[in-house]
Copies of this chain bind each other. A is one copy, B any other.
Amino acid sequence: MSKAKRLLDILLFVSAKKKFTAQEVADEFNISIRTVHRYILDLSDMGLPIYAEQGRNGGYSVLTSRLLPPILFTEDEAVSIFFAFQSLHYYRDLPFNTEMKSASHKLYSSLQEEAKQKVDKLQSYIAFWNPKRAIETPLLKAVLEVAIENKNLHIQYESKSGTTTKYIHPIGVYAHDGLWYMPAFDLTKQKILLFRVDRILSIVESEENKEEFINLEEWFGNTYEIKQPIRLHVLLSREGVRQCRSEPSLEDLVVIKEDGTGYIDSIIDKGELNFTSPLFYRLGMHAQIVEPNELINILRQQAKDILSMYPENE
């Protein structure tokens, strides 16, 4: 077997253990100890951060965590990785910040001058904007780890009604619009609730949960399950059509007529009305609600509230 291949095998063998002796490697690959010493010297020369402890109970250790075999990337693939990192630029708290930094440093330093410029340029012409939150999410990594380990949790949570304590089973975490959310099964209330990770004040790990829960992807799919069906029927002007099509929850429902105006006529869940009403409030004349009366009443009630807060005689 060629030396290069053998070195690689040893690299992988060695980076998977936290400590090993030359004898172990010699036995594993059927080579002499002298050769193992020579190989380790070679790996060390190649930059692998390996060090030896002298004496009885001594041995070698590798400082980095487990290594992958060398990978040949094309320049374009490297650019795509930078591009993906770029997309996380506007998040304040991320679970893998340090690893991302060292990975991009390794990539960047092996790019040729020309490609470096390309990457720099790309990064000044493309961005993934998120509101750069001042809000810290210190417990993000901790919560993610517990979720992956399938454990239950006791949390202190800052909710509408003040600080409360919950006993939950996390389903996963997701980022949206610069904030981190955690859907979780509330073991007391026996239903799934959505928490904001930055509002979690403290966590206490509890036992592992063997039960099968819905996973994050399924949860996304099921979020819009209709429990209390209600008919939504709205007539839209051209501008109304345009704006509704930018609204993720409604874009699929808009029907466009030949003259550019349109309408929505669909069955939605009653619970969604509260989220929908601000949109129709904003649209004003551009959206004429035909049904349901509940939605009209919400809008009318809110309008009355506003008028009573700010009476005419100022």
Q: Verify A68–B305 contact, CB threshold 8 A.
A: no
Residues of A in contact, count (CB < 8 Å) = 98
Q: A64 contacts the other chain (Cβ, under 8 Å)?
A: yes
Q: A160 contacts the other chain (Cβ, under 8 Å)?
A: yes
Bound-complex Cα distance A294 to B248 (A): 31
Q: A281 contacts the other chain (Cβ, under 8 Å)?
A: yes
Q: Verify A306–B310 contact, CB threshold 8 A.
A: no
The interface stretch among A103-111, A202-210, A262-270 is: A103-111
A242-293 interface with B by 8 A CB criterion = 242, 245-246, 248-249, 251-252, 278, 281-282, 284-285, 288-289, 293
The interface stretch among A24-32, A131-139, A185-193 is: A131-139
Q: Verify B296–A174 contact, CB threshold 8 A.
A: no
Bound-complex Cα distance A71 to B71 (A): 5
A152-183 interface with B by 8 A CB criterion = 160, 172-179
Bound-complex Cα distance A125 to B173 (A): 6
Find A96's partner among B79, B133, B251, B307 (CB 8 Å cutoff): B79
Which 3 A-B residue pairs are closest in the complex by CB-CB distance? A131-B248, A70-B70, A80-B96
